[in-house]
Structure 1
């Protein structure tokens, strides 16, 4: 029982006015809510506790210096937020993680500062970390190191939710449900207020999933509104109302999503059929002859991920994204439209190291296996958006790296924005018209010059042009 940490570590506790990144991510992932008790173990000054209370969460905090009483009690979810970094004794660090795991009834959320933050931490080598000028300790983790460490101590299969944030589930069913949520994001039902809207919600589900739902998949309100209808009447209504082409496309999509899910699950440790979320079990029964057949097909898909020729062929055939000699670049809005093997490629990287919170474009290398998430915060507003940061994971070594361009005076920028999107994206025609006008003006005659802010501005001057929003106009005379 470790509840007597060295109080000097209080100096690392910062005052928060907003939720920390791990807590915000957990809320987005629906792992925190009013239906679960939450313990912030090592809560520091209690910023997350106060913010979660404002969101009607049942949350308590414990900290050895700021809130030692009452003692920490078990909760559904335990947050261990940037605590492991500051413990200089490896044995005590392990005991702290083990204690947090013991206190978690359902889920432990562990976050830690990562090695790519080293430039922000000034200090001298001390033990397995750094001793700062304020006499505080920092052990910075590699993304794969944090995931492996939590798995080793807890004995659980751990999922990387974001860079430096991992989820350790007590229940395999909950972990698999979380993976399903990440892979099948369109599983939400339409709201049902009367019989008519309940039927519309049912039809929408059939068109999206390619099959009728089971009663246990329906929201309670929808099931109750349809309860007075006989099964054959419901089938007739769906048959007469649902678009058969959408149903067929939904079935294909569900088949591919199931294969993607099972392949990702093998990457992270696959369980028995009974451990799958109920909707995934029904998909397997609807679209495959058996669970064994589905797993075999998913295994073949995962093996193909190792084949450079197959991956490159999928990139060439992709209807979305910009293909360069080294990689495919795809905007996040088009990511689910990539071929299944490429979706698997990106998902495996995200499960291993976590997608960053902010990103606009995913970059998938076609030789070697590495995924980068690139953040262009003004992608939609800026005709040539500038990069703010990139986060890369190498799937062969599971090493990660981060690059920030915020202080750069000559940032890389994007051209031909429409190529990163799906052809039917509503913004694609406007971006395409801009590209065509820039080509006519001769702005792409020297592609090696236009990749950065300064080079692009120089070419605009040379061609006598300037941008007004997404319109190219003649530059006004000085």
Structure 2
């Protein structure tokens, strides 16, 4: 057999196509034509799913250069539907990789033996024992390291003690890619990435929403003290101080003796919404503002978060507990703060807003907020490139290559930090932006400019161009959203922003004009559609052509500037979209939906808790809550892998779970799929449970009268046959996998037969060892599969074929016709035909041999088995 087969899909290198057969060659040629690509130039591996009519054309650029090459691009051609899907992994930090590549090559290929030797070495230490950990580069390299090995070329080498080589590269990374340990990973992604420990500890204390908003945006890193105005019982203050942060508070009831003190950060959390007197409410707000040196965070209760309960009073309600509540909409609280403080608040979460007194800090916050933190450039260590061409040597004499390399190696850490800063800024850093490294750089190179020239001479200029383009896009997004908010022009620009605009745009007017043009483009539905299609091609979410793009919030920062502005405009109205899990960009309607799920990261089927629809054209927001207490059942999210990508935590496990679920075909999962209650009922009825990211059979047996398939019960399959009826033996399976085998037999074979011919009559079903001893006549439990998965006294399977079997009749039907139909339309294991009016024996088991046996009578009356084709079954015995 040519190629490597995985889950009924065959992979083969293009060098095998000439000998793969005329039919496959024709399919591949048609796929090439439809995708508009050429073999060898655009792809070098083919994945064939002939049963599904799909051909994937895959490009592994380093197929022969790396032991486990990474996928770069793919085209999925559905020959039946006439569609072509495209995906690029150019920006992926965790692309799919190829294993056992020798199986894709012809038997006489000169490179096959080397790859086979590496595969054998990997098998010897169990590297292929966990399929969900080997398909993607990050999980694979983690697994190799866990086993105490590393990949060096085409060799698997043990890792000894620390070899002290901090710059050791890891096989499989692109030449300009970061080492795995240093690769930047966006929030919520990455196998080994961890949030700051101190913030994790803070969350465990149950901090209030405004304090968590400060933590999320990096203000609780220990540099800025916080004062809690209206601190209540002081829970936030105690939690912050317990984590080593500077915090104090005052409350007119619980802590009136504490002094009111200015602070960089002031929290006014859920205070003004409980003050019934409007003048006193305004006084509380302005008093907190007067204490603020850098940032005031205000939090209130939203009307659409908690339905007002109680009787109307003033501009709010008196609750049943005798307290006052003033419920706001997001628009109302924003307008109130603007009017009261003459400042422009920034919504960062539902009911939570930031108001900056320090305008430089505000500009830095907004720039950082709309910045693409996903750029793979930001932490790429410097790598010396080959010497310049000889023509440069005549004009500018260069040191010998070894001198350059020696000088670079001697100052690697210093230059790496400078390189990272350069890429981060998207422009050459100024002396005050280099920090403590400046004296060392001047001592070695004379000036910062000379150090930058030396560094640039060792690097690919394309990396700097990409960094500059990314930074320019970030500034365009920031400026466009400022104009969308109609924020008042700043009296002066933050120094770093001034430099960026001057270098990247020339002047502030040109930057503003470019940003305005970008902002106006969000009205262009075709431009939005094109950007969404480009995002989907990069693995950023699930595209419904012409309708929407839906993706995880962690991927938003990787979108094109146009879509980041689209999402940012919604965030201006709503607050921080990162509070949600999924973002749905509606292409033509000017809407954006945010969806929040329960346990989105850790569950293969997260349940929807909240949906927020932001209508940009109407400047309004609708909230929808789901769950038992709301009256709206919380639905499951089916096919979660569509909305994430290979860099997301547990992606391989999620993909494997969905493949299993789709293969089982328990129900129709298209569209929104069945309700959670219906899905749970189907899962239980068909004897499946979800255990983490695994679908497995339950550990307990079913009620005998529970359905086994759609038409039968377990009791009918167990309590059938003359001997069981005569003896009354319970005949119960002792092993749970015997029940599972009966379930599979009913679903895969018996249900289709009953659907087509009507109800069957079972003449012999499951047979326990106790029942087998009572049966007179010729039976062979070691082969007939009636014992299912039961064991003998030695603990070994009674029937090595396992599975399960029954004998049955269909009244008033020619059993030859029944047998022919069954053989042609079901995935049976073995079928024995005895005659037109006799029961047929059929099994379903792991071998899936699809063997048809006709029992032929001999002259002495004995029946002799003869393997035949289904079409050879006739009414004669």
Fold match (TM-score > 0.5): yes
In the superposition, relative to structure 1, how do residues 246 and 434 fare at CA in structure 2: closer, same or farther (>3 Å)? Answer: farther
Q: CA deviation at 1:129?
A: 0.9
RCO comparison, higher one (Cα < 8 Å, 6+):
1
Residue 452 (structure 2) aligns with: 235
In the superposition, relative to structure 1, how do residues 473 and 137 fare at CA in structure 2: closer, same or farther (>3 Å)? Answer: closer
Distance 2:571 2:262 in 1: 30
In the superposition, relative to structure 1, how do residues 96 and 273 fare at CA in structure 2: closer, same or farther (>3 Å)? Answer: closer
Instruction: Give 3-state SS (helix, strand or coil) of 1:368's partner.
Output: coil
Does the 8 Å CA contact 2:585/2:593 hold for their aligned counterparts?
A: yes
Q: CA deviation at 1:293?
A: 1.8
Does the 8 Å CA contact 1:62/1:71 hold for their aligned counterparts?
A: yes
In the superposition, relative to structure 1, how do residues 466 and 245 fare at CA in structure 2: closer, same or farther (>3 Å)? Answer: farther
Instruction: Tell me which of 405, 412, 418 is aligned to 2:635.
Output: 412
1:156-189 per-position Cα deviation (integer Å, ceiling 9, x unaligned): 1111121111111113222111101212264988
In the superposition, relative to structure 1, how do residues 149 and 245 fare at CA in structure 2: closer, same or farther (>3 Å)? Answer: same
Query: Is 1:173 paired with 2:378?
Result: no
Instruction: Give 3-state SS (helix, strand or coil) of 1:376's partner.
Output: strand
Residue 217 (structure 1) aligns with: 433
Distance 1:424 1:67 in 2: 48
In the superposition, relative to structure 1, how do residues 135 and 448 fare at CA in structure 2: closer, same or farther (>3 Å)? Answer: same
Query: Is 1:390 paired with 2:577?
Result: no
In the superposition, relative to structure 1, how do residues 209 and 45 fare at CA in structure 2: closer, same or farther (>3 Å)? Answer: same
Residue 329 (structure 2) aligns with: 142
Distance 1:40 1:337 in 2: 36
Instruction: Give 3-state SS (helix, strand or coil) of 1:53's partner.
Output: helix
**Alpha carbon RMSD of aligned pairs, Å?**
3.2
Residue 304 (structure 1) aligns with: 521
Instruction: Tell me which of 44, 52, 77 is aligned to 2:240.
Output: 52
Residue 484 (structure 2) aligns with: 267
After superposition, residues 114-263 of structure 1 pair within 5 angstroms as 114-119=302-307, 121-184=308-371, 186=373, 195-218=411-434, 220-228=435-443, 229-230=445-446, 231-263=448-480
1:388-436 per-position Cα deviation (integer Å, ceiling 9, x unaligned): 3333433334433433334379522223333212466686555445545
Distance 1:38 1:337 in 2: 33
Distance 1:287 1:185 in 2: 16
Q: CA deviation at 1:375?
A: 2.1
Q: CA deviation at 1:36?
A: 3.2
After superposition, residues 336-347 of structure 1 pair within 5 angstroms as 336-347=557-568
Distance 1:349 1:266 in 2: 14
Distance 1:99 1:466 in 2: 57
Instruction: Tell me which of 538, 546, 554 is aligned to 1:333.
Output: 554
In the superposition, relative to structure 1, how do residues 410 and 213 fare at CA in structure 2: closer, same or farther (>3 Å)? Answer: same
Residue 842 (structure 2) aligns with: none
Does the 8 Å CA contact 2:345/2:353 hold for their aligned counterparts?
A: yes
Instruction: Give 3-state SS (helix, strand or coil) of 2:298's partner.
Output: strand
Instruction: Give 3-state SS (helix, strand or coil) of 1:403's partner.
Output: strand
In the superposition, relative to structure 1, how do residues 225 and 22 fare at CA in structure 2: closer, same or farther (>3 Å)? Answer: farther
Instruction: Give 3-state SS (helix, strand or coil) of 2:353's partner.
Output: strand
Query: Is 1:402 paired with 2:628?
Result: no
In the superposition, relative to structure 1, how do residues 195 and 277 fare at CA in structure 2: closer, same or farther (>3 Å)? Answer: farther
In the superposition, relative to structure 1, how do residues 372 and 276 fare at CA in structure 2: closer, same or farther (>3 Å)? Answer: farther
Instruction: Give 3-state SS (helix, strand or coil) of 2:249's partner.
Output: strand
Does the 8 Å CA contact 1:465/1:473 hold for their aligned counterparts?
A: yes
In the superposition, relative to structure 1, how do residues 170 and 410 fare at CA in structure 2: closer, same or farther (>3 Å)? Answer: closer
Query: Is 1:355 paired with 2:571?
Result: no
Q: CA deviation at 1:338?
A: 1.8
Query: Is 1:453 paired with 2:676?
Result: yes
Q: CA deviation at 1:440?
A: 4.4
Distance 2:685 2:672 in 1: 12
In the superposition, relative to structure 1, how do residues 171 and 210 fare at CA in structure 2: closer, same or farther (>3 Å)? Answer: closer
* Structure 1 length-normalised TM: 0.85
Distance 1:38 1:336 in 2: 29
Distance 1:331 1:102 in 2: 39
Distance 2:207 2:317 in 1: 27
Instruction: Give 3-state SS (helix, strand or coil) of 2:294's partner.
Output: strand
Instruction: Give 3-state SS (helix, strand or coil) of 2:306's partner.
Output: helix
Distance 1:213 1:472 in 2: 53
Q: CA deviation at 1:278?
A: 3.2
Residue 56 (structure 2) aligns with: none
Q: CA deviation at 1:91?
A: 2.4
Residue 224 (structure 2) aligns with: 36
In the superposition, relative to structure 1, how do residues 457 and 243 fare at CA in structure 2: closer, same or farther (>3 Å)? Answer: farther
1:84-137 per-position Cα deviation (integer Å, ceiling 9, x unaligned): 111112222122212222222222211101112333x53111121110122110
Distance 1:96 1:44 in 2: 14
Does the 8 Å CA contact 1:206/1:242 hold for their aligned counterparts?
A: no
Does the 8 Å CA contact 1:321/1:329 hold for their aligned counterparts?
A: yes
Equivalent residue pairs, number:
459
Instruction: Give 3-state SS (helix, strand or coil) of 1:117's partner.
Output: coil
Instruction: Give 3-state SS (helix, strand or coil) of 2:607's partner.
Output: coil
Does the 8 Å CA contact 1:151/1:158 hold for their aligned counterparts?
A: yes
Distance 1:52 1:215 in 2: 36
Residue 714 (structure 2) aligns with: none
Query: Is 1:313 paired with 2:530?
Result: yes
Worse-matched range after superposition: 454-463 or 356-365: 454-463
Distance 1:417 1:199 in 2: 42
Q: CA deviation at 1:306?
A: 2.6
Worse-matched range after superposition: 356-365 or 260-269: 356-365
Residue 323 (structure 1) aligns with: 543
In the superposition, relative to structure 1, how do residues 448 and 77 fare at CA in structure 2: closer, same or farther (>3 Å)? Answer: closer
Distance 1:148 1:344 in 2: 22
Distance 1:150 1:273 in 2: 19
Instruction: Give 3-state SS (helix, strand or coil) of 1:447's partner.
Output: coil
Residue 4 (structure 1) aligns with: none
Q: CA deviation at 1:207?
A: 3.7
Q: CA deviation at 1:26?
A: 1.0
In the superposition, relative to structure 1, how do residues 317 and 89 fare at CA in structure 2: closer, same or farther (>3 Å)? Answer: same
Higher helix share: 1
Distance 2:599 2:588 in 1: 29
In the superposition, relative to structure 1, how do residues 423 and 255 fare at CA in structure 2: closer, same or farther (>3 Å)? Answer: farther
* Structure 2 length-normalised TM: 0.48
1:300-344 per-position Cα deviation (integer Å, ceiling 9, x unaligned): 111122333432332233232112364321112321222211111
Q: Which has the larger radius of gyration?
A: 2
Unaligned runs of 5+ in 2: 1-203, 382-409, 699-739, 744-877
Distance 1:449 1:107 in 2: 43
1:212-269 per-position Cα deviation (integer Å, ceiling 9, x unaligned): 2222223x23334434232354124422443433323222211211111110111234
